[in-house]
Amino acid sequence: MKKINTLFALLVIALAANAQNKIDQDREAIKALAGFYKVTFNYAETFSPDDDYKFHDRHRSSAKEWAVILEDSPKKIVIQHLLVMRGDSMIIKHWREDWTYEDPSILVFDKEDTWKNVTLSPAETKGKWTQKVYQVDDSPRYQAIGTWVHVDGRHQWQSNADSPLPRREHSERNDYNVLNRGNNLYLTKDGWMFEQDNKKVIRSANGDKLLAMEKGLEQFVKTDPKSFGYAQTWWKQQENFWKDARATWDEVFATNKIIKLVPKIDNKLLYEQFFALGNQSVKENWSSEKNKEGIKKIILSYLAKS
């Protein structure tokens, strides 16, 4: 009996060590997404069940992007993306991704700028990472859960999630209202690839109707950090304001089961208000308390009353 107990204890120790090694591999893969990149975006519609559907033109573009790690704790890694334009003379705060391990809750996109806070069971989250993607103003975009897989030298994470229309189509199209994203993210020898198999969906009270399918490839190739000097200076000036923005949004998420945002206030989009406030905060050297006061006022004005 003593021998059996010893073998059982050794097995438990071995399983725990393997689990920890897996988490460490996951964390290293996630942190590898950060860096200085040349990014190319390629999207093409591939199929529609409607024979009369007129396929839209392919979308192709490129940019420079710096992805910087803002938080690195055992079960949470936060990466902020900054878009670098006109050489290194114009910086735009781009999207943000929070990676959380075995997170018990997730914001699920419904339609019409509405997200619902959903609680997940331990079985649904065991061993999995949630990628929480936020807009340029740190409002929600989409959140998806999946398992990192490390095999044959390949590091890959897959998921599926509903989201609003992509920025490249948001102001140009109104023939669908939900993008169902099939996300496949994997590391490459010179960066990483974000491969997508998307469904453009018309969502109504009668259910979902598929309008068209789309293939997307976003390739991140590492490039020389020397061409990101102004971006690093700019972010150093702005980062305290956006740290306060994240904290304020987290309070809003924690106290609202449903997040519904109105498109415009005084003919201004939410991100326009945030960018203006951030610039004013930097110029006038605001305190964290003043930042949060101004940020919360903006958020509450765009939060639709239930």
- pTM for the model: 0.92
Give tens-digit pLDDT for 53-69: 999 999 999 999 999 99
The residue written with tokens 């559907």 in the block is 53
Whole-angstrom distance, CA of residue 68 vs CA of residue 183: 21
Residue spans of the domains in the chain: they are 2-225
Q: How confident is the model at residue 144 (pLDDT cuts 50, 70, 90)?
A: very high
Question: What percent of the chain stands above pLDDT 90?
Answer: 90
Question: Does 150 score more than 50 pLDDT?
Answer: yes
Between 167 and 129, name the one with better pLDDT: 129
Section 73-82 average pLDDT: 98
Whole-angstrom distance, CA of residue 146 vs CA of residue 160: 8
Reported as type and span, the H/E element at residue 250 is: helix 229-255
Give the torsion sign (CA, 13, 14, 16, 17). positive
> Which residues are within 8 A (CB) of 267 and not within 5 positions of it... i.e. 6 or more apart?
none
Give the pLDDT score at 15.
45
Give tens-digit pLDDT for 169-226: 988 999 999 999 999 999 999 999 999 999 999 999 999 999 999 999 999 999 999 9
Nearest Cα to 277, choosing from 295, 303, 265, 262?
Answer: 295
> Mean pLDDT in the chain?
94
